[in-house]
Chain A
Amino acid sequence: MGMNWSKPLAIATLMATLAAVPVRAETLPDTIRFGAFGQGYGQPFGVALLAIAHVKGFIADEFKDTPVKLEWSYLTGTGPAINEAIANGQLDFAQYGGLPNIIGRANGLPTRILMSYGQTTIVGAARTGLPIDSIKDLKGHKVAFQKGTILHWAFLKALEANGLSAKDVTIVDLKTADQLAALAAGSIDASIGTSSLFPLRDQGVVKIFYTSRDAGPKAVGFGGILVSDQFQSKYPETTQRVVRGLVRADEWLSHEENREEALQIWTKSGTPYAALKEEFAGLSLKESFNPLIDDFLIEQYRDATQFSKDEKLIRRDIDLQQWFEPKYLNAALKSLGLEHYWPHRTADGAAIN
């Protein structure tokens, strides 16, 4: 302290270092471990943005001049299992649903939200032959879904929007695979899930009475790609490269001519092609996979956090401002010239530019 020349000297040294080693400013990790929710088919592939970045090698490209290895796991146990894996130090980056994001963070899991992974269409299916044609008709019926997932939030919000509450239905907490058996056996009346319910409709077991597409952008499932806080503070440059790869993957995904290939990539997860095609039919993939941390995404997280508190899913509050870490996304957008590519959205989901 007190030595006036220390600061200029430090800057000069730093600049010299940067000039000499323009890329390698940090020791890269040996391995980067990515995780995402699986689709319940036990396949080593998933859906949404991370699966595209994985299969198309967008993140691998960012590390092609290095010995860094990338590991990918798609966990059948979805959100809760991903939270455990992050706590265990087994994952560095993870793509999973907003509700388990919140549950993990509220229990002190050190994560940062880097970007949105895109949207998930929520689907309601009822056994054929039952007089269920809308959310309102569920009153007094047995409805199954996996609690603690984004479906839980989406369904209770849909009930609320239709003047009902959780007390008006009998909720059965079931994993997707068991729901199919339970629907076939007639022991539940309806199921809340994703496009994986479409094949059941094609078999004539159920009819679809609700999709979140009809209920506006705020009813759609959401979630983030998160990084463990230790990882991003230890490896900021690596994190930057990963996010750059993700943004390039997202930009690729946004072009209509790549839709078919993207659907094919997602079928590797085990989800039938027809189901995926239907889920995204008529939807702009550019809009659906808007990565921005904008007012809309923040509002969705704020809403789901409040929901989690009301439903006593979490015991502590979350400081959302502390949780989002948009600097990597912003830098990546800038370096790729994509700052204005995806529109910012208002809290209600309307595009503003």
Chain B
Amino acid sequence: MTVSSPPGSFASPDLRHVATRSRPGVLAALTWKRVRPRFWPVAQFLLPAAFPLAILIAWQVTTANNWLPVQILPTPATVLSTFWDLVTGGDIVVNLQISFWRISLGLAVGGLAGLAFGTVLGVSRAADEMLGPLFKALAQVPSLGWVPILILIFGLDEMLKIIIIAKACFVPIVLATSEGIRNVPRPYREVAQVLRLRRRSVLTKLLIPAALPTVFGGIRLALSHAWIALIVVEMLAAAEGVGYMMVWGRTLFQIDIVIVGMLIIGGIGLLMDAGLARIERGMRRWEPARA
């Protein structure tokens, strides 16, 4: 297996093993890395583009042959020109700013709270036994199910939207954090005990670095949940934002606006996920080395 960080540190090889085990995607990625040099380098770019391209062609063919009414599936050209109109008209910028702000705030609030609560659940067995079941029960209720009660408490303003997005982020981060910490192999904990590491050192030198990959998986999941929640709240009670733009497009029976919204959300989500993945890689490179 290729290893990207210097080996030999206290916890690194086995922790990577833990990470690999908990996220099967990593294994696939590593296998792919080994195979990749055999391909012509261009394949690297072609492969991810092939499927979207196939969809685009199918879309064009479908609309060109009128297999679906244009009211249901507008042509790619229509969508492109609507996209351009929305960009030049400034609608997209305004809506994105608002949606971005909501996502960032919700992710920050829900993420920090989730990290803290997840750490408590992961570190303390007593806390987990006391709060775990209630948390898991509440986490099962989808965001939409919270809306009627939250409207009564917080009204329809920005607060409601932030809380729903924060709640959507909170759950996966709590789960990932507590699980990440709990899954640190027993031998390492025992070593830490033998070395009589202080509680603080155990947390910073062992638990956090070991849990980080799982936590990051949780954050990336939280981000996708945040987008879903954003659309839910903006569809419900908003007058602006990308989600509202899509609802409005549907109301006006202009599906091209809806598709533009989908493309924007997909594109931004992809970028944000790639950004997070990059940060994650960076962190995993220096964390074990420092230990």
Besides A107-B71, A172-B239, 13 other CB < 8 A contacts?
A83-B71, A89-B69, A104-B253, A108-B71, A148-B251, A173-B239, A174-B236, A174-B237, A178-B151, A185-B152, A187-B151, A187-B156, A188-B156
Out of B72, B155, B244, B248, name the residue touching A88 (CB < 8 Å): B72
Q: Is the CB of B151 within 8 A of A182?
A: yes
Q: Counting CB contacts under 8 A, is A171 at the interface? A: yes
Q: Counting CB contacts under 8 A, is B148 at the interface? A: yes
Q: Is the CB of A181 within 8 A of B148?
A: yes
Q: How far is the CA of A174 from the CA of B244 in the complex (A)?
A: 11
Q: Is the CB of B254 within 8 A of A315?
A: yes
Q: How far is the CA of A178 from the CA of B237 in the complex (A)?
A: 9
Q: Is the CB of B71 within 8 A of A148?
A: no
Report if A109-B253 is in contact (Cβ < 8 Å); known contacts: A147-B248, A172-B237: yes
Q: Is the CB of A87 within 8 A of B72?
A: yes
Q: Counting CB contacts under 8 A, is B228 at the interface? A: no
Consensus secondary structure, chain B interface: loop
Q: Is the CB of A182 within 8 A of B71?
A: no
Q: A interface vs B, CB < 8 Å?
A: 80, 83-84, 87-89, 100, 103-104, 107-109, 147-148, 171-174, 178, 181-182, 184-188, 313-315
Query: Which residues from A are CB-within-8-Å of B251?
Result: 80, 103, 147-148
Query: Which residues from B are CB-within-8-Å of A83?
Result: 71, 253
Out of B69, B156, B247, name the residue touching A87 (CB < 8 Å): B69
Q: Is the CB of A148 within 8 A of B148?
A: no
Cβ distance A306 to chain B, nearest Cβ, rounded Å: 16
Q: Give the contact-size bracket for chain B.
A: 20 to 34
Q: Closest 8 CB pairs between A and B?
A: A187-B155, A148-B251, A87-B71, A187-B156, A107-B253, A181-B151, A185-B152, A87-B69
List the count of A-B residue pairs having beta carbons below 8 Å apart: 72
19 CB-based A-B contacts, threshold 8 Å: A80-B250, A80-B251, A87-B69, A87-B72, A89-B69, A103-B251, A103-B253, A104-B253, A107-B252, A107-B254, A108-B71, A147-B248, A173-B247, A174-B156, A181-B148, A181-B151, A187-B156, A188-B156, A313-B252
Q: Counting CB contacts under 8 A, is B157 at the interface? A: yes
Q: Counting CB contacts under 8 A, is B70 at the interface? A: yes
Chain A residue at minimal CB-CB distance from B69 = A87
Cβ distance B157 to chain A, nearest Cβ, rounded Å: 7
Cβ distance A100 to chain B, nearest Cβ, rounded Å: 8
Q: Is the CB of A171 within 8 A of B239?
A: yes
Q: Is the CB of A172 within 8 A of B253?
A: no
Chain B residue at minimal CB-CB distance from A110 = B69
Cβ distance A127 to chain B, nearest Cβ, rounded Å: 12
Q: Can you list, as one digit per residue, whether each of B144-178 has a CB less than 8 Å from chain A (1) or not (0)?
A: 00001001110111000000000000000000000
Q: Is the CB of B155 within 8 A of A182?
A: yes
Out of B72, B155, B237, name the residue touching A84 (CB < 8 Å): B72
Q: How far is the CA of A186 from the CA of B157 in the complex (A)?
A: 11
